[in-house]
Amino acid sequence: MNRPMRTRRQATLASLAAELGVSRTTVSNAYNRPDQLSPELRRRVLETARRLGYPGPDPVARSLRTRKAGAVGLLLTENLSYAFRDPAAVGVLEGLALACEDAGVGLQLVPASPGREDVAAVHRAGVDGFVVYSVPDDDPHLAAVMSRPVPTVIIDQPQLDGIDRVGPDDAAATEQIADHLVGLGHRQVGVLCMRLARDRNDGFAPVDRQQEAHYHVQRTRLATLAKKFASVGVEWSAVPVVERFEHTVDDGASAARELLDANPHVTALICTSDILALGALAEAGRRGLRVPADITVTGFDGVAEATRAGLTTVHQPVLEKGKAAGKLLLSAGDRVAPKVITLPTELRVGTTSAPPRTAEERWFGP
């Protein structure tokens, strides 16, 4: 405790009313509807409140009565650090926070611990709605949110029956980058991707694991890459895909190392996030591979760091994504049918992609 402990029970609206000899309604009005009572009485109420140390109507009691919590909940991935370390996630968070601020409602981060399946926090959260971001399809927290009788918006998740959704067209975005690489002539590619399921698997991900991935975004991107490259004759099951549970630049680098050690002839590293791609660039540098002359590296998301590094990537408006989700949630109730917002993506060709070296060049230099 860090404030001078009030010796007796906190003053309440009722005790204040009693002290003043007015009804509780009047005190309530003094705070909420100044036009409902004379300025003089209001002044007296407020002054007595100050004298008695009454801090104003209790927010929780008010919420109960008005059936408005004045906050929305955000459920995000099991790993909190991920959300704060990934610039794309921070962008979404910021956009969401901005939308909430605009509307004057709070944004509550709901704890969703990974280990203990402690869904209770979801039930305990006093919020008027939920935004769900980057959660695996089978996460029990997601199910818990769905069981709450409040509006919900999901970001970057597969379409759920009757639920608002915000996200880019991941398949189209992936096609853009795939077309770019195919057009440049790359056929021997490798992929670095983020975690595919809730269990840890730092290493190669076989095709079945790719197809069964619980993270919608990763699943879609991999599936689209597979389709695109298969269409130009690449046997996808032979394409190395390295997965990382954690999502850091260092993990991107180690994934690139693992992939290149086993597949030195790869001409392009396709990364399902910019962060991983930045790591791949670092690893390429360490190996003395020039980018893009010796190897092409591409990312995903188009975060500021990637732009600065000249990374070829697909940009998506992460801030807008969060904002749109917030607005959607806060305008629920106006609608009757669920709404889906698809955000535009844009291929940004940087300085990290080029045609592959020919076999000759590879042996004898350019």
Residue 165 CA to residue 339 CA, distance in Å, equals: 7
- In the bound state with DNA, the residue whose beta carbon lies nearer, of 47 and 138, is 47
- In the bound state with a copy of itself, the residue whose beta carbon lies nearer, of 149 and 288, is 149
Residue in 48, 77, 152, 218 binding a copy of itself, rule: CB under 8 A:
152
- In the bound state with DNA, the residue whose beta carbon lies nearer, of 24 and 198, is 24
The answer to whether 222 and 195 have CB atoms below 8 angstroms apart is no
Task: Spell 275-300 as b/e; 16+ CB within 10 A means b.
Answer: bbbbbbbbbbeeeebebbebbbbbbb
Binding partner of residue 32 among a copy of itself, DNA, none, CB cut-off 5 to 8 Å per kind: DNA
Residue in 44, 62, 214, 287 binding a copy of itself, rule: CB under 8 A:
62
Binding partner of residue 35 among a copy of itself, DNA, none, CB cut-off 5 to 8 Å per kind: DNA
Residue 192 CA to residue 241 CA, distance in Å, equals: 6
Residues 286-325 as x/- pattern, contact with a copy of itself by CB under 8 A: ----------------------------------------
Binding partner of residue 178 among a copy of itself, DNA, none, CB cut-off 5 to 8 Å per kind: none
Residue in 24, 44, 148, 287 binding a copy of itself, rule: CB under 8 A:
148
# residues near a copy of itself by CB under 8 A: 67
The answer to whether 356 and 188 have CB atoms below 8 angstroms apart is yes
Piece of the chain touching a copy of itself by CB under 8 A; list 15-23, 132-140, 218-226, 336-344: 336-344
The answer to whether 309 and 85 have CB atoms below 8 angstroms apart is no
Binding partner of residue 21 among a copy of itself, DNA, none, CB cut-off 5 to 8 Å per kind: DNA
Binding partner of residue 36 among a copy of itself, DNA, none, CB cut-off 5 to 8 Å per kind: DNA
- In the bound state with a copy of itself, the residue whose beta carbon lies nearer, of 121 and 349, is 121
List of residues contacting DNA (CB under 7 A): 9-10, 12-14, 21-26, 28-29, 31-32, 35-38, 41, 54, 56-58, 61-62, 64-67
Piece of the chain touching a copy of itself by CB under 8 A; list 4-12, 196-204, 222-230, 254-262: 4-12
Binding partner of residue 198 among DNA, a copy of itself, none, CB cut-off 5 to 8 Å per kind: none
Where in 156-175 is the site for a copy of itself (CB under 8 A)? Answer: 162-164
80 scored as a contact of a copy of itself (CB under 8 A): yes
Point out which residues bind a copy of itself (CB under 8 A): 1-4, 6, 10, 53, 55-64, 69-71, 73, 80-81, 84-85, 90-91, 93-94, 97-98, 100-101, 103-113, 118, 120-121, 123-127, 147-149, 151-153, 162-164, 332-333, 335-336, 338-339
